[in-house]
Amino acid sequence: MRVLVTGGSGFIGSHVVDKLRERGYEPVIYDLRPSPWHGVNGSPAIDTVLGSITDREALERALHSCDAVAHLAAVADVNDVHASPEDAERVNARGTVAVLEAARRAGVKRIVYASTIWVYSDCEDDAVDEDTLLPAPSHLYTSTKLAGELYCKAYQELYGIDYTILRFGIPYGPRAREAAVIPAFVGKALRGEPLTLAGDGSQSRRFVYVEDLADGVARGIGDAAMNRIYNLASDENVTIRQIAETVRDLVGDVEIQYTPARPGDFGGKIVCSQRAERELGWSAATPFSEGVKRYVEWRRSQDAVAAAREAEAVIPAGEPDAEAKPRKVLIISADIGEGHDLPARAVAREFHDEDPDAQVSIVNGLPAMGKILSHVLRESSAFMFRWIPWWFDFQYRLFMELGPTRWMARRLLWIFGHRGLMRLIRAHDPDQIVSTYPGVTAVLGDLRRRGRLDVPCYSSITDLAGLYFWAHPGIDLHFITHPESTEEVERIAGPGSVRWAKPPTSPAFLAARSRADARRALSLPPVGRVIAISGGGWGVGDLLGATEVALAAQPDATVLCLCGRNDDLRKRVAKRFGDEPRLRL
């Protein structure tokens, strides 16, 4: 039986692929990126189709040779859901419709859908099972997953596609995202950092070891599970404090610190999984302490492999004091906008977290590329953004869509920029170079291809598309923050030239902050309506007109006008509305 696994390259999906193979199924991975866990280090390669979960036609092509689909692809990180509810709805809800519709058109009559026990979070009773009446959800993530459940039921009624809905407990284990609570605690403990708990740590969770969860998905494909809902959660109710104590006992004596509780944190439910045990023979077989122990062992082995590769890559063979030599990393950015500066700071922070001894330098690459290029790239861009944005759009299309124009632009970047950039690199003598600015990336790529530079070069890509200058065949590896960029980058730079990296988010954005704190930080009144008008980092658009409309439309509202780096715009807004007490600049 051939089973398409959406999200098969991810944390849970990769384990499901392994379990299906073990059970005699033939899994096929459908994901935005190739699996980093299959076809490497002796593990068998798995048939893989790369595509978006909302691309119905690609899904239909992938499903034509399959008998069933295990739909696991989703935006599952709560922070990601809050940061972009529209993306979460598109992937989790509309993505599920796309899978169901593709299955209908391909003649596939079986789907296993991955939901979550968080659907019970708004229930009044503390003890819940599959028959518990679910109230309207108050959480964005829960809403999108419940929508998927309803779509599965509707497609069964209308088109005869049989479903199994599996409500997952909170997964943990090897290959987990670093941001999840257990990996985060283990990572901090291994670095000797304190473990921080919100409140008293009494919030409880129903964790389930990822291999047990994968076993539940494999069992869910069977006929016994047809058109049924199952909870897949552990009987162990584990508090956040217990997690920290378990990690401390396994890793070493680290401090546990307590911070004020977050408002609205999920206190936990007693979730019954007896139906899965009774009908499928499934149970969460791995005790929590044993599962965490396995994860710590896996994490240590991964860290050891990474350290060995890093040492092999940056320490020259035969150098007498090579082991004592700290790694030198040169990050080349451009002082044009936060799209380049913020990734540079985020990358530097990552290097320091991984290797406190590393010598990490962030430099502005524009001056090194010469006065002419610096003026054209910085001042001309600023002028166009602020005064004639349509010209920037025209120029952008010219360079992106016409090959000869792109070649000319690359040639000019090389002529004016490569000598100065090489002088900058020699002055820093780095072991690794990271570029967060496409103009620098284009020149670095040419230097590598021409054999003029023997230092590994990496590109940090924060744009979504139009990546002809962000990506280059000469760059060793491209780190993208949008998985949708994979196809375009690999078309430009070649297969295997892309890795996904978590978006560069500032620590201030992630810090817990109440509305009252936010209002104080922005000098806003403690209560009342606020209208925010943003010109982005550059301070572009008709902010004067927008401010006038906002002040007139809501007489009782405070208007917050964000002018970015555009001091001229700030002065013009202040001059025109300087006497308006409701305006904050």
pLDDT 10s digits, 156-203: 999 999 999 999 999 999 998 877 889 889 988 988 888 888 778 888
* Structure token digits, residue 101: 């519709």
pTM across the whole model: 0.57
Domain that holds residue 574: 514-584
Give CA–CA dist 417/72, Å, rounded.
46
Q: Does residue 148 lie within any of the structural domains?
A: yes
Q: Which of 478, 500, 522 is the last residue of a domain?
A: 500
CA dihedral over 511, 514, 515, 518, signed as positive or negative: negative
State the Cα–Cα distance between residues 315 and 301, nearest whole angstrom. 21
Encoding tokens for residue 323?
A: 């082991």
Which tokens is 100 given?
């169901």
What is the 3-state composition of the chain as percent helix, strand, coil, each rounded to the nearest 5? Answer: 50, 15, 35
pLDDT at 530: 93
Rounded CA-CA distance 182/262 in Å is 18
* Model pLDDT, residue 232: 96
Q: Is residue 118 part of a domain?
A: yes
CA dihedral in degrees (388, 391, 392, 396; nearest 10)? Answer: 170
Which residue from 193, 191, 197 is spatially nearest to 244, judged by alpha carbons? 197
Q: In terms of domains, do 159 and 106 share one?
A: yes
**What does DSSP assign to residue 323?**
G
Domain match, 496 and 537 both: no
Does 58 fall in a domain?
yes
CB 314, CB 432: distance < 8 Å:
yes
What are the distances in angstroms from CA 126 to CA 132, 166, 204, 272?
A: 11, 20, 12, 11
Same domain, 73 and 184: yes
Any idea how long the chain is? Answer: 585
**291 shares a domain with 386:** no
In DSSP terms, 254 is beta-bridged to none
Domain CATH for 373 = 3.40.50
Edge-to-edge strands, sheet with 530-534: 530-534, 558-562, 583-584
Print burial letters for 441-464: b (CB count within 10 Å at least 16), e (below 16). Answer: bbbbbbbbeeeebebbbbbbbbee
DSSP state of 470: T
In a shared domain, residues 477 and 539: no
Would you state the pLDDT for residue 316? 46
Six-digit token pair at 172? Answer: 């943990």
Does the residue 321 lie in any domain? no
pLDDT at 341: 77
Choose the final residue of a domain: 475, 500, 525: 500
- Do residues 198 and 250 both lie within one domain? yes
**In this structure, is residue 312 part of a structural domain?**
no
Q: Are 81 and 185 found together in one domain?
A: yes
Nearest to 6 by CA among 65, 67, 48, 36: 48
Query: Is residue 471 situated within a structural domain?
Result: yes
* Burial of 477 (C-beta count, 10 Å sphere; 0-12/13-18/19+): middle
Q: What is the rounded distance in angstroms from the CA atom of residue 312 to the CA atom of residue 355?
A: 15
pLDDT given for residue 385 in this prediction: 66
Is residue 488 situated within a structural domain?
A: yes
Whether residue 462 sits in one domain with residue 533: no
Domain-ending residue, one of 500, 529, 564:
500
In degrees rounded to 5, what are phi and psi of residue 263?
-65, 140
Query: Pairing relation of β-strands 68-71 and 110-116?
Result: parallel
Query: Pairing state of beta strands 48-50 and 26-31?
Result: parallel
| pLDDT less than 70: residues of the chain | 40-42, 261-268, 305-324, 337-338, 378-379, 381-382, 385-386, 389, 392-393, 396, 400, 465-466, 505-513
* Tally of domains in the chain: 3
Nearest to 14 by CA among 178, 214, 179, 233: 214
User: What is the C-alpha separation between 222 and 237, in angstroms, rounded?
Assistant: 29
Distance, CA of 337 to CA of 467 (rounded, Å):
17
Distance CA 75, CA 114 (A): 12
Residue 30 and residue 19 in contact, taking contact as beta carbons nearer than 8 Å: no
Q: For residue range 480-505, list pLDDT tens digits in order.
A: 888 778 888 888 888 778 887 777 76
Q: How far apart are CA 188 and CA 3, in angstroms?
A: 38
CA 276-278-281 angle, 5° bins: 70
CATH number at residue 133: 3.40.50.720
Query: Taking the alpha carbons of 428, 432, 436, 438 in that order, is the dihedral positive or negative?
Result: positive
Element (H, E) at 230: strand 228-232
Do residue 336 and residue 275 come from a single domain?
no
Complete edge-to-edge strand list for the sheet that includes strand 432-435: 359-364, 328-333, 432-435, 457-461, 477-480, 498-500
Q: Do 269 and 339 fall into the same domain? A: no
Neighbour tally for 368: CB within 10 Å = 21
Residue type, 329: V
Encoded amino acid at 230, one letter: Y
Hey, which bits of 483-529 come out as E strands? 498-500
CB count, 10 Å around CB of 264?
8
Residues 27 and 97 in one domain: yes
| Cα gap 363→352, rounded to integer Å | 16
Torsion angle of the four alpha carbons 133, 136, 138, 144, in this order, in degrees rounded to the nearest 10: 90
Widest Cα–Cα separation across the chain: 75
- Same domain, residue pair 124 and 246: yes
For residues 462 and 531, give the distance between their C-alpha atoms in angstroms, rounded to a whole number: 28
Quick one: pLDDT at residue 221? 96
Q: Is residue 172 in some structural domain?
A: yes
